[in-house]
Amino acid sequence: MKFNIITSFPKSGNTWLRYIIYDLFFNPQNKENNNSLDIHKFIPDLHALKVINNQLILDKVLKDKKVFLKTHLSYNQMIKYPMDKIILIIRNPLDVFVSLLNFYNYDDTKKDELIDFFAKHHTLPILKKFGFPTWSQHTSDWIDSNTNLHTVRYKSLIDNFDMEIQKLSEFFGIVLSREKLDHLKLNTSFIKLRNIEKEEKKNNSEGVFNQAMGNKKGRYFMNVGRNNNYKNLLNEEQTLILKKSFGDYIDKYSL
C-alpha cells in the first residue's frame, strides 16, 4: 500500500486541506459537514496513529480506500513510508508565527524573544522538541524531493479557492463539477469549520479539534483564517526582523 501525504509546517492549513480531501474523496453524496471525527478517521494524523509490528493501524473505514496521511515531517523523515502523491501546503511564515503564538497561548511578554528565536532558527523551541523540521527545512526538503508533488499556497487557497481546488482535482485525475465545487466551498469554509469546532468544544466531542486543543479553554484551533493577519499583531520592528530572515522565501514562493 502506498500513502498519499498531506504535509505542512504546523499552523499552515493542514486541517483545512484534510477537510477538502475528505469532501473530494469520501463524500460523494455531498453531505453537510457537522463533525471532525470523520476527518480524524478518514484522513488520520500520522503522529497519532498506533503502530503494531511496524504497521500503521488505520480505521476500518479506510479498508479498500485511498489512504491519506497528515504529517508535519520532512521528506527525509518520511522516506521510510511508501508514498504515492504528496500535497505540500505553504503559508507565509509571519502568519504561521502569529498562529503559533495563539495555539500555544504564549504571553505577549515573550513575543520579542520568540520572534528572535523564530527569525534565527525558523522554528520554535517546542516544535524543535517534537522533532519537526524548521519551516525552511520542511519547505525545501519536500520541494527538492523529486516526488509526485503538488504545492498549495495558503494565500492562494484563500484568494483563489476555485482555481486551487480545480488544480488539486486535476492532480488526482478528478473531473470536478460546478455543483461539487460550490458544495465544497461552503462545506469547508472557515466559518463552517469554526462552528463545528465551537459545537464540539461545547459538547467535548471526539474529533480533530479537541484532539489538537485539549483543554485549552477560550481559544480555538480555527483561529482567524486569513492572509496577512500578522499585520494586526506585530509592530514594524518585529515584522522587519522576520521579513529579513524569511524575505527570500516569501518572494520565491509568492507568499
Q: What is the mean pLDDT of residues 117-141?
A: 96
Q: Write the DSSP string, 63-97.
A: TTS--EEEE---HHHHTTS-EEEEEEEE--HHHHH
Within a 10 A sphere around the Cβ of 254, how many other Cβ atoms? 10
**What pLDDT shows up at residue 7?**
97
Asked if residue 242 lies in contact with residue 93, where contact means CB atoms within 8 angstroms, the answer is yes
pLDDT digits (tens, 9 = 90+) for 166-217: 999 999 999 999 999 999 999 999 888 888 888 888 877 777 776 654 445 5
Is the model more confident about 235 or about 195? 235
Averaged pLDDT score across all residues of the chain:
90
Is the model more confident about 107 or about 79? 79
Is the model more confident about 134 or about 35? 134
The CATH number for 3-252, chosen from 3.40.50.300, 1.10.287.3510, 2.30.22.10, 3.90.650.10, is 3.40.50.300
Asked if residue 117 lies in contact with residue 125, where contact means CB atoms within 8 angstroms, the answer is yes
**What pLDDT shows up at residue 194?**
86
Q: Which helix (H) or strand (E) holds 247?
A: helix 236-252
Q: What is the mean pLDDT of residues 79-84?
A: 94
**What pLDDT shows up at residue 215?**
46
Q: With H, G, I as helix, E, B as strand and everything else as coil, classify residue 201.
A: helix
Q: What is the mean pLDDT of residues 132-137?
A: 97
- CA nearest 131: which of 72, 46, 91, 45? 72
Q: What is the mean pLDDT of residues 217-237?
A: 75
Q: What is the mean pLDDT of residues 74-90?
A: 96
Q: How far apart are CA 175 and CA 87, in angstroms?
A: 18
Q: What is the mean pLDDT of residues 234-248?
A: 97
**What pLDDT shows up at residue 146?**
93
Q: What is the mean pLDDT of residues 148-166?
A: 95
